[in-house]
A and B are shown apart, each in its own frame.
Chain A
């Protein structure tokens, strides 16, 4: 299922929650596409969370990461625009494919975009960098 399909389910009279989020429809479609390409290309499970994170922020991000079906193979990108904080969490197996130094590199380029106010662009760039470093699964 994709972001786009979820919208169809919600019906036409009530706009779905996702449109209250920080992204426009076009940006949502691009993020969806980037996620799908990253998942298919690497065999890892990429996931993006945009919203508030409780203190301690790192722990909250790791808790979200553990909620995924296969935490070991998953990569979570958690962005909190109001706290201006970005967390990249890689699972045990995913960490072998994406070492922390490369996660940090991707985080740097994402943060550069976020600082310019471009949330969607940063997320897509970060996904692309992480996925291309992880290589084929």
Chain B
């Protein structure tokens, strides 16, 4: 076996394998969505989403554009007023919790 052949087999092949595995690891990291994941206690930037079974259930016309997953629009003063009038005094219930 010549020197070049020895080098090719004992250096070239291991180097190729190492490169291949490194490439696969980075490809998996990028595609796997591991980067965008909520971890408690860590800052998490994302677009706010609002899911509805049927998006026409939103009250006002501005709201209908806010289909599942759209960003919540800021409440205009008019809407806030309207909401304030319609507010059932102490009518709503529910629960709160933190984690």
Task: Please list the residues of chain A having a beta carbon within 8 angstroms of any beta carbon in chain B.
Answer: 1-3, 6, 16-18, 20-24, 28, 31-32, 35-36, 38-39, 45-52, 57-58, 62-72, 74-76, 81-82, 84-92, 95, 98-100, 103-104, 106-108, 110-112, 114-117, 119
- Asked if B38 contacts A85 (CB within 8 A), the reply is no
A21 touches which of B43, B46, B60, B99 (Cβ 8 Å): B46
A95 touches which of B39, B67, B93 (Cβ 8 Å): B93
Interface 1/0 per residue, B77-90 and A, CB below 8 Å: 00110010011100
> Using a Cβ cutoff of 8 Å, how many contacts connect chains A and B?
182
Q: List 26 A-B contacts (CB under 8 A).
A: A1-B54, A3-B68, A17-B71, A20-B47, A22-B44, A23-B49, A24-B33, A38-B53, A46-B53, A47-B50, A47-B53, A49-B48, A50-B51, A66-B87, A67-B60, A69-B58, A72-B88, A74-B57, A88-B94, A90-B92, A91-B91, A91-B92, A95-B94, A111-B99, A117-B38, A117-B39
- Asked if B95 contacts A100 (CB within 8 A), the reply is yes
- Asked if A100 contacts B94 (CB within 8 A), the reply is yes
Q: How far is the CA of A39 from the CA of B47 in the complex (A)?
A: 25
- Asked if B72 contacts A51 (CB within 8 A), the reply is yes
Residue among B46, B56, B91 facing the most chain A CB atoms (10 A cut-off): B46
Query: What would 8 more interface pairs be, CB under 8 Å, given A62-B92, A99-B93?
Result: A1-B55, A1-B67, A51-B48, A58-B96, A66-B86, A84-B98, A115-B40, A115-B99
- Asked if A86 contacts B98 (CB within 8 A), the reply is yes
Listed from nearest, the 3 A-B pairs whose CB atoms lie closest are: A51-B48, A18-B69, A95-B93
